Amino acid sequence: MQYIDNIIFLILLVAGFGLFAKSLQKIYRNIRLGHEINRNDRKGERWETMARVAMGQSKMTARPVAGVLHLFVYVGFVIINIELIEIVVDGIFGTHRFLSSILGHTFYNFFTATLEVLALLVVIGVVIFFIRRNFYGVKRLTMKELFGWPKNDANWILIIEFALMMAFFMMNASDFILQARGVFPEHGSFPISEMTFVPFLEIFNFDSGFLMFTEKGAWWFHFVGILFFMNYLYYSKHLHIILAFPSTWYANLDKKGKFNNLDSVTKEIKLMMDPNADPYAAPAEGAEADVPSKFGAEDIFDLNQVQLLNAYSCTECGRCTSVCPANITGKKLSPRLILMKTRDRLEEVGRNIDKNGKFVDDGKKLLNDYITKEELWACTTCNACTDACPVLLDPLSIIFEMRRFLVMEQSAAPQELNLMMTNVENNAAPWQYNQADRLNWASEN
C-alpha cells in the first residue's frame, strides 16, 4: 500500500499519453486520405516561416490587444507545463519538488517565481478572453456559425486553463505555509500565491494535515487536468496548439492568388495553339499518368493533405471571415466555415472508417452536403482570408478546387461565367464583340 499513489500515477500517465498518441494517429490517418503534395522545397524559408509565425506569433500582432493576450496565454501555459517534468518525477518516485535538487536553491526560486508570474498572465488572458467572447460582442466571435459546440468548446478551454492555474496557485500557497511551519523543506519562491491564496488560507488557520491534503489534492488536480486537456485537444479547435507548426511549415510560399495550373490542361492548350502539332499523334510514354482521374475536388479525398491539415489546424478565430468582402456584404460565404465544414466532413469519413475498417460510401460529399455552390461562387478570390490567417491557412485553395470540379467536371459554372468563357474562346476577350472591332473605340474619338 506504500506505493499505491505511485502506481496510480503511473497508470494515469501511461493511459493519458497512450490515448493522446492514439488520437494523433487517427488525425494522421485522416489527413493522409488526401492526395500527396510536394511542399518540401525551400527548407530554409519554411523553417524561418514556422519559427516566426507559429512560435513567434508574428501575425497575431495585427490585432495588438488580442495578440498580446494570446501571447500571455500561449507562452505562459507552455512554459508552466515544463513543470510537468517535475510532476512526473515526483509522481513516479514519490519525491517532492525534484527540480530543486537539480537547479539549486537560487535558480529554483527564480524558476518557480517566473512560473507564478506567467500563471498570473495566463489568468488575466483567459478571463479577458472569456469576457470578450461572451459579453463584449466582438462580431467575428458571435456569428451564427459559432453557435453550439464551437462556442462551448472555446469557453470550456478557457475554463479548464483558469482551473488549472487556480490549482497551481493553491498548490504553491499550501506548500508555502507548510514550508513556513517546517513540514516541508524550503524550496521555491511563490510571490503571487503569497499575495493572494496564502492570506486566504491563513484566515481560517487550517491545520497542517488539511494543508497537506489541499497541496496534494491541487497537485493531483493539476496533473490529471493536464492529461485531460491534452486528450480533449482532439475534439477541440485548440488542436492548433500542435498543428500550427506543421501547417506553417507546409504553407504555400508562392505569391497569393497564384493559380495551380494543371499540367495536363496546359499541355492540351499548348497542343491546340501549336499549328505544327499533330493532334492525332500518340501520347508520349507515361503522359497518361499526368491526366488526373478527376478535375478539382468534390469530396475530401480530392483535396491534398495540406488542405486537410489546414482544416484540422483552424482555430476558428474568424479573422479570415471578418475581412472577407463577400461576407461583409451579406453573402453566405465564410472562409472560416469552409475550413470548419471540411473538418466536419473529414471527421465523418474517419468515423466511417473506424466503424467499417474502410470507407463505405455514405452517399454524402463535401460539395452540396457541406459546402454549397452559393458559398463557392460568392468568393471574389481576393486572398484577404489567406492574408489574415494567423497560422497561414488557405481556405481559398479549397474553394478553388471545388470550383474547378464544378466547371470542368459538371459544367456547372454560373451563366455569367459561362458567357465570359465563351467570349474568350470565340473572341479572345471576355466581351461579346468581334476581335476585328476591338479598336473601334479609338477611331470614334
Alpha carbon distance 72, 119 (integer Å)? 9
The cell for 190 is 511563490
Question: In this model, does residue 298 exceed pLDDT 80?
Answer: yes
In this structure, the number of other CB atoms found within 10 A of the CB of residue 195 comes to 12
Query: Which one has a higher pLDDT value, 1 or 47?
Result: 47
Residues 6+ apart with CB under 8 A from 248: 49, 50, 53, 54, 391, 392
**Is the domain of 217 the same as that of 301?**
no
Which helix (H) or strand (E) segment is 342 a member of?
A: helix 335-356
The residue whose grid cell reads 470507407 is: 359
**Is the domain of 10 the same as that of 123?**
yes
Alpha carbon distance 133, 15 (integer Å)? 34
125-150 pLDDT, tens digit each: 999 999 988 888 788 888 889 989 99
Sign of CA dihedral 20, 117, 217, 180: positive
348-405 pLDDT, tens digit each: 999 999 999 999 999 999 999 999 999 999 999 999 999 999 999 999 999 999 999 9
Predicted TM-score (pTM) of the model is: 0.86
Alpha carbon distance 406, 413 (integer Å)? 6
Running DSSP on this structure, what letter comes out for residue 240? Answer: H
Q: How many CA atoms lie within 13 A of 146 on its CB side?
A: 20
* CA 399 vs CA 223, 225, 386: distances in Å: 42, 39, 12
**Is the domain of 213 the same as that of 272?**
no
Alpha carbon distance 59, 74 (integer Å)? 14
The residue whose grid cell reads 481560517 is: 204
User: Does residue 251 fall inside a structural domain?
Assistant: no
On whether the CB atoms of residues 345 and 298 are closer than 8 A, the answer is no
Phi and psi at residue 394, in whole multiples of 5°? -130, 75
User: Does residue 44 fall inside a structural domain?
Assistant: no
The cell for 257 is 492568388
The cell for 37 is 503534395
On whether the CB atoms of residues 84 and 226 are closer than 8 A, the answer is yes
End-to-end, the C-alpha distance of the chain in Å comes to 101
Lowest mean pLDDT among 59-63, 264-268, 411-415, 419-423: 264-268
Nearest 5°: CA angle at 84, between 83 and 88? 125
Question: In this model, does residue 286 exceed pLDDT 60?
Answer: no
**Would you state the pLDDT for residue 445?**
58
User: Does residue 256 fall inside a structural domain?
Assistant: no
Question: In this model, does residue 181 exceed pLDDT 60?
Answer: yes
Question: In this model, does residue 24 exceed pLDDT 70?
Answer: yes
* Domains: count for the chain: 2
User: Does residue 119 fall inside a structural domain?
Assistant: yes
**Would you state the pLDDT for residue 289?**
47
Question: In this model, does residue 23 exceed pLDDT 90?
Answer: yes
**Is the domain of 313 the same as that of 221?**
no
The amino acid that residue 126 corresponds to is: V
**Would you state the pLDDT for residue 292?**
65
**Would you state the pLDDT for residue 290?**
58
**Would you state the pLDDT for residue 46?**
94
**Is the domain of 71 the same as that of 104?**
yes
Nearest C-alpha neighbor of 145 from the set 314, 396, 23: 314
The amino acid that residue 412 corresponds to is: A
**Is the domain of 140 the same as that of 12?**
yes
The amino acid that residue 159 corresponds to is: I
Residues 6+ apart with CB under 8 A from 363: none
* Rounded average pLDDT over 149-173: 92
**Is the domain of 228 the same as that of 271?**
no
**Is the domain of 338 the same as that of 373?**
yes
Alpha carbon distance 3, 89 (integer Å)? 14
Alpha carbon distance 221, 223 (integer Å)? 5
User: Does residue 204 fall inside a structural domain?
Assistant: yes
User: Does residue 258 fall inside a structural domain?
Assistant: no
**Is the domain of 268 the same as that of 216?**
no
**Is the domain of 309 the same as that of 396?**
yes
**Would you state the pLDDT for residue 336?**
95
305-324 pLDDT, tens digit each: 999 999 999 999 899 999 99
* Rounded average pLDDT over 403-427: 85
Average pLDDT, the chain: 88
249-281 pLDDT, tens digit each: 999 988 877 777 777 777 777 776 776 766 666
Nearest C-alpha neighbor of 394 from the set 327, 332, 342: 342
Alpha carbon distance 213, 211 (integer Å)? 5
**Is the domain of 361 the same as that of 226?**
no
**CATH for 383:** 1.10.1060
* Rounded average pLDDT over 109-114: 92
On whether the CB atoms of residues 97 and 90 are closer than 8 A, the answer is yes
The cell for 71 is 501571447
**Is the domain of 408 the same as that of 305?**
yes
Where residue 17 falls among pLDDT bands split at 50, 70, 90?
very high
Question: In this model, does residue 169 exceed pLDDT 90?
Answer: yes
| DSSP helix/strand/coil, 148 | coil
The cell for 109 is 526560486
Count Cβ neighbours within 10 Å for each residue of 238-267 and write b for 16 or more, e otherwise: bbbbbbbbbbbbbbbeeeeeeeeebeeeee
**Residues of the chain above pLDDT 70, percent:** 95
User: Does residue 253 fall inside a structural domain?
Assistant: no
What domain range is 363 assigned to? 263-276+292-431
| DSSP helix/strand/coil, 304 | strand
